[in-house]
Amino acid sequence: MVNSSVALSSVFVAPSGNCDLPQSCGSLGLCSVQGNSSSCVCPPNFASSTQSSGCSPVTGNIFSANSSCNGTDDPNISYSYVGNGITYFANKFRSAVTIGKNRSNCEILCTNNCTCNGYFYDTSSQSCFLLQQPLGSLINANSTESAHSLGYIKIKNSNIGTQTNSSSSPKLLPILLPSIAAFLAMLIVCGFGFVWWRRGQKKIRNKSSLTKNMIHGPPSRPISDSDCLFSDNDDDISEILLPGLPTRFNFEELEEVTSNFRTKIGSGGFGSVYKGELADRSLVAVKKIEGVGLQGRKEFCTEIAVIGNIHHVNLVRLRGYCAQGSHRLLVYEYMNRGSLDRSLFRPTGPLLEWSDRMHIAVGAARGLAYLHSGCQPKILHCDVKPENILLDDEGKTTQVKIADFGLAKLLTPEQSGLFTTMRGTRGYLAPEWLTNTPISDRTDVYSFGMVLLELIHGRKNRSERVTDADSNISSTSTESTCTKSEYFPLIALEKHEGKNYADLADPRLEGRVDVSELERMVKTALCCLHEDPGLRPNMTSVVAMLEGTMEVWEPRTEALGFLRVYGRGFGGNAMEIDGMTSRIGGSRATTTTNSGWPSYMSSNQLSGPR
């Protein structure tokens, strides 16, 4: 059901799962995600503790923080291994104490530190993180990023209670065993009851407050710096409320990584992108957000919130961020070929062959399908276009990744759509953006359909064509040619009706096209462009149709009639188009077309070409 009462201006804050809370399972309890819920267990060599509401060593040893410490090596100190692939909440947003050292060095640092309660060591990056009181829960992340994480808890042997009366033990054992068993059973029942009650309370709070504010934003107050979790005061940066954050860098580190921002590889609406190299020799792309205003802060927070918590082979990986003073930077994995538009639309240089275009189409579709059906809550990208599809060919095959989540929105399972302010890029906007109807995952599907058509044609959907001048047009010019604008989606519809799919392929390919794949892609693209969102396929079906594992839908021409309205404005010259645009919104224009769109609406106003 659509929640239409919220304000159009919204704030995006990251979703938080149960396991992302510091005390989700008590001290040193191991939290594991199971679908939409989570479970708590104790790690190896640990058992439930009646004192800490968490887990403690089964050997009866006590933590070093509860013992005397002289700051030197203590033979009574040992470390209990908690397992591989287990992370700790605080490690997600604070820097490692050392990088590039072995695990023994990390253990020595903890042993000689009286306030250290344990350490986590990443065998991949050779990073060392120390733990301090109060100790929170552990997270069984089950991701590739945490697969190399080793955790050790520092304990100290206790001599308390080791002297016992051996002669009285056999007599006391039959008396104590039933009492102990009854107490443990009662403790387990109470523990399960408490976990069930706490989980129910969290669900109630999430539905009534957290989800509403995270997705729609507070409806009655303006956005402030605190809404974006970071202020210009560097002292406030440590008060981070966002769970699951990637590595936090300081500005000086990123200056060194990018050689003082020497190599610029691109620019966007809110800043420039520079090439850099981390200490582990991996290349990164550092986005420096310039002139941070309200919208820039919102996009910065949204970007971290969305891709900081999701991982997929077709989604760009966020390696880290910087929020120091007035500096706002995002650190991504480096994609050496840049965005798709550079390879697809360039007039010279290597040409994207047809097999490459099919591979790119399937890869981008898989990334969007994961956002729509593999994430909870569902993520709407809201700005699908070639500029936000990145390519890398350093491996055996070209990698395709969706990027730029600054305009993304969340859609909970209870919602079929949501209202929000218009966002995206002209030429890829679905009709529902302009008709005061809710957006949904099918809004991204429409934008992807436009991208498919550009992959087929190798040009922007709106392009200029030089033709012979009309002899009936009086002109004092000696020019014998004129420039006309073409709207490729309309051409694709007309060629589909005539079954002339080969005419739609990029002429630069000179016939090097699989006609059956071409027909499949054209039909899939037109289905994505259906005016009614309910008639468009979901991205999972789009992937299957492009791969050929599912029969391609037949486009409904009656649901594509609005393309003729758009195309009608691009058959004339530029002066005619400008004239039509200037009449938009006139009080005299009241007629409508068969598609239901007002006849005076130009393609520039309704998802028209860029």
Out of 3-12, 134-143, 221-230, 489-498, pick the least confident: 221-230
Task: Read off the pLDDT of each residue in 309-328 and give the average, rounded to a whole number.
Answer: 88
Out of 397-401, 408-412, 497-501, 591-595, pick the least confident: 591-595
Q: What was the pLDDT predicted at 466? A: 57
List every span in the chain annotated with CATH 3.30.200.20.
Answer: 234-333
Q: What angle do CA 371, 373, 375 make, to 5 degrees?
A: 55
Q: Contact, 448 vs 389, CB < 8 A?
A: no
Distances (CA, A) of 145 to 90, 148, 308, 317, 539: 15, 7, 12, 11, 27
Q: Binding site annotation covers 288?
A: yes
Residue among 315, 471, 530 at smallest CA distance from 403: 315
CA 466 to chain centre: 42
d(CA 230, CA 374): 29
Q: What was the pLDDT predicted at 122? A: 87
Q: Contact, 247 vs 319, CB < 8 A?
A: yes
Cβ count near 313 (within 10 Å): 12
Q: What was the pLDDT predicted at 143? A: 57
Neighbouring residues of 214: CB distance < 8 A, sequence distance ≥ 6:
12, 13, 14, 15, 410
Neighbouring residues of 288: CB distance < 8 A, sequence distance ≥ 6:
261, 271, 272, 273, 274, 329
Q: Which sign, positive or negative, has the C-alpha torsion 251, 330, 296, 220?
A: negative
pLDDT of 596 over the 50 cut? no
Task: Read off the pLDDT of each residue in 535-564 and give the average, rounded to a whole number.
Answer: 95
- The highest-confidence range among 158-167, 215-224, 326-335, by mean pLDDT, is 326-335
List every span in the chain annotated with CATH 1.10.510.10.
Answer: 338-414+425-470+479-582
Starting at the edge strand found earlier in the chain, the sheet holding 138-140 runs 37-41, 30-34, 138-140, 86-88
Catalytic residue among 122, 227, 356, 383: 383
For the chain, the C-alpha Rg in angstroms (whole number) is 30
Q: What are φ and ψ of residue 593, in 5° steps?
A: -95, 175
d(CA 20, CA 195): 16
Q: Which CATH superfamily is domain 338-414+425-470+479-582 in?
A: Transferase(Phosphotransferase) domain 1 (1.10.510.10)
- The highest-confidence range among 130-139, 239-248, 477-486, 520-529, by mean pLDDT, is 520-529
- Could you identify the residue written with the tokens 């002339």? 500
Out of 263-267, 313-317, 551-555, 580-584, pick the least confident: 580-584
**Confidence category of residue 87, pLDDT binned at 50, 70, 90:** confident
pLDDT of 358 over the 90 cut? yes
Neighbouring residues of 597: CB distance < 8 A, sequence distance ≥ 6:
431, 562, 565, 606
Q: Which sign, positive or negative, has the C-alpha torsion 286, 352, 371, 143?
A: negative
d(CA 200, CA 206): 10
Q: Which CATH superfamily is domain 234-333 in?
A: Phosphorylase Kinase; domain 1 (3.30.200.20)
Q: Contact, 14 vs 244, CB < 8 A?
A: yes
- Told to judge if 503 belongs to the known catalytic residues of this protein, a careful annotator would answer no
For the segment 359-388, what is each residue's pLDDT rounded down to a tens digit? Answer: 999 999 999 999 999 888 889 999 999 999
For the segment 384-437, what is each residue's pLDDT rounded down to a tens digit? Answer: 999 999 999 887 789 999 998 878 888 777 777 777 777 788 889 999 988 888
Percent of the chain with pLDDT over 70: 71
Question: Is the pTM higher than 0.75?
Answer: no
